[in-house]
Structure 1
Amino acid sequence: MSNPTSNSEQPLRLLVIGAGKLGGYHANIASQLDGVELVAVADPSAEARAALAEKTGAEPVADYREAISRIDAAVVATPTVTHLDVAGELLAAGKHTLVEKPLAPSLAEADKLVRAARQAGVTLQVGHVERFNPALDAVREDLADPRFIQATRTSGYTFRSTDIGAVLDLMIHDIDLALDLAGSPVVGVEAMGFSVLGDHEDMVTAQLKFESGCVAQLTASRVSYELERRVQVFTDRAFVAVDLNTRKSTVVRPTDEVLERRFNVAALSSERKSELMAGLFDELLVRSESETPAVNAIEEEQKDFYAAIREGRSPRVSGEAGRDAVAVAERILECVEAHRWDGADAGRRGMFASPAAAVLPMGLPLEGERRRAG
């Protein structure tokens, strides 16, 4: 892997592309990290790039190409549909690149980016920031060899990332976590979902079956009145529940007597049953709770990116990992589109499960016309 910053005393020269919310986070963090020089921030909006440049001390540029010759690495925080063009050009120029999730809107485009990084011999990292959530790291040993994974991720409608739906916007995080935890190929996918406000799916539930026998149940909604980011994992030896928002974790570890099937319910006296009802999670299913201190996960993600560049190693979330998540997301979207809501070919199907067109305001396209229009 090439390394344009082989001298560890030289700062790594960085460009942040995109001055929106995520681009702002990345630029502000990079501007304060030792060993990093934020050279420029790029955005077609003069107001947005000027405001971010003023906060970070970087040069504002309208076109990222203006700064390519002066950088070693870049963060791409632009709309998903632009990732192939923007990141592809950076990689072809030999620049290490961190691409915000998802890596691309399709497997075909994700494959192209992974190949481009390999051909150039540079680092490609994908912004699956939940991998850096300290609550998961705190219980990592108890997550080994999962049998069942359940993840729920819901939020209100932010009116951002409207170029993609809930699968690539929200569920992609939990797809990545499930793939990382299971460590096994996906052999089956089932899913259903529908659109509520826009032209993409807003609510989706999916089930993944892994070659190892593990099953993952994933739910995502961006039209919810509750903000929720939870993961539950069942293994052969424990149950783990993690609130990714509050960083609170609960681990339940059955005693050896329970695990080895030596616990005989039928042999218990009435008195002992009463005792165990009150102390089940102290004696048999031993529960422990913890709360990890807050960290800036995007900062940890950036630090891993820079360390991977300097050390010539793979980042924690490689381009290949980002590509694999997109591959599963694509299969989920295919299932969503194929789902028949009325159980018949002539009935409603796909994400647009609206009633008959008679209830729609005049002038709006029918379901079939909307689908053909893209």
Structure 2
Amino acid sequence: MLSIGLIGVGHLGKIHLKCLQLASADYDLVGIYDTDRKLAEEVAETFGVNAFPSVDALIEAVKVVDVVTPTSSHYSVVKRALEAGCHVFVEKPLTETLEEARELIALSRSAGKLVQVGHVERFNPALLALGDVPVKPYFIEAHRLAMFNPRGTDVSVVLDLMIHDLDIVLKLAGAEVADVRASGVAVLSTTPDIVNARIEFTNGAVANLTASRVSLKNMRKVRLFQRDAYLSLDLLEKESQVVRLFDSDGTNIPDRGQQFPLDTPRGPRIIHVDQPKSGPVNAIQMELESLARSIEQGEPVAVSIEDGYRALELAQRITDAVAASQARMTDSF
């Protein structure tokens, strides 16, 4: 069992705290720390855990650190944990800047310690349900819409919401980014609240992503179009649908799902519709448990620090493209 400490007990930190207690087979929760001493003591009393007087005192007492602090402090806290010889779980985004992220990558490698980044959508049942379904998208479309919430508006919607889908798209596209175009508008806050990005990959795949925090409803959908298949993921409802075309002889058609004959310009085919299920999961608990397996059993880290860097790098390219687009708009008026 791994000793672990939680740093940051705000809204999301409390959720992590509950999940760490549920993951008692993997972790011994030694205690918590928050810069708000009064909050830390209240949370410690509520959850029956120890509140440490300083971040360094907690880090020195554990082997793993769970960092759920504001993004602006990720770099300093993760750096201190790695220098103290701890493995780290850190919420997304990895850091504020690419320079900070590169330094942490180098430090984690030299220290021989694992860092997992909290891109929790990797553990969404809709995505997990795809299982062994071949995923080679030519075109990806993602919409992540949310009703306005002042929490998180200190950063652009790219880092607040879109970064979830950037991680998914980078994973599914399976290629390097070739080009990025984007535009966005600050509607209610001082940073862009709605952004649309078009990402082209070196293998020819294209992704069109929209993220908004000024919507009248919540939506988290990803659609993938590929040769002989259409995959729809509803990350909010945690449902997936897979529509695939097979030869009319019925070869290799899965047993589950429904089949329908279809006449196409390429001749008679069979359309197969399936709604695969992965079962209910606690995604945050699952990602924390996956880090424990990586540490103790040598499993690959589910979302590595390098994955976190790639998502952050793409987010920065999109942010730069939005800024350039806004500058052109200003010049035209």
Q: 1:245 aligns with which of 236, 250, 253?
A: 236
Q: Which residues in structure 2 correspond to 1:1-374 (within 5 Å)? A: 11-32=1-22, 33-256=24-247, 284-340=270-326, 346-347=331-332
Q: So what's the TM-score if we normalise by structure 1?
A: 0.80
Q: CA deviation at 1:56?
A: 2.9
Q: Percent identity?
A: 38
Cα-to-partner distance string for 1:208-259 (whole Å, 9 max, x where unaligned): 111111111111011211111111011223100011111221111123269x
Aligned Cα RMSD in Å?
2.1
Q: So what's the TM-score if we normalise by structure 2?
A: 0.89
Q: CA deviation at 1:276?
A: 6.4
Distance 1:42 1:108 in 2: 26
Count matched residues: 317
Q: CA deviation at 1:284?
A: 4.3
SS of residue paired to 2:184: strand
Distance 1:305 1:111 in 2: 21
Q: Is the radius of gyration larger for structure 1 or structure 2?
A: 1
SS of residue paired to 2:51: strand
The equivalent residue for 1:6 is none
Q: Is the CA contact 2:4–2:30 (under 8 Å) kept in the aligned structure 1?
A: yes
Question: In structure 1, what residue type is equivalent to 2:16?
Answer: H
After TM superposition, the structure 1 stretch with the greater mean CA deviation from structure 2, 187-196 or 305-314, is: 305-314
Q: Is the CA contact 1:44–1:62 (under 8 Å) kept in the aligned structure 2?
A: no
- In 2 relative to 1, CA 86–276 (structure 1 residues): closer, same or farther, beyond 3 Å? closer
SS of residue paired to 1:177: helix
Q: CA deviation at 1:345?
A: 6.8
Q: CA deviation at 1:61?
A: 2.6
- In 2 relative to 1, CA 45–284 (structure 1 residues): closer, same or farther, beyond 3 Å? same
Distance 2:13 2:78 in 1: 14
- In 2 relative to 1, CA 140–237 (structure 1 residues): closer, same or farther, beyond 3 Å? farther
Cα-to-partner distance string for 1:158-209 (whole Å, 9 max, x where unaligned): 2222332110111101000001011110010000011122221111110111
Distance 1:102 1:224 in 2: 22
Cα-to-partner distance string for 1:258-315 (whole Å, 9 max, x where unaligned): 9xxxxxxxxxxxxxxxx969xxxxx743322345432100010000011111123431
SS of residue paired to 2:133: helix
Distance 2:221 2:53 in 1: 39
Instruction: Give every structure 1 segment of 4 or more consecutive aligned residues whose post-TM-superposition deviation is greater than 6 Å.
Output: none
Cα-to-partner distance string for 1:18-52 (whole Å, 9 max, x where unaligned): 11111111111112321311111111223321232
Structure 2 unaligned runs (5+)?
250-260, 264-268
Going by fraction, where is strand more abundant, 1 or 2? 2
SS of residue paired to 1:58: coil
Structure 1 unaligned runs (5+)?
1-10, 259-274, 278-282, 349-374
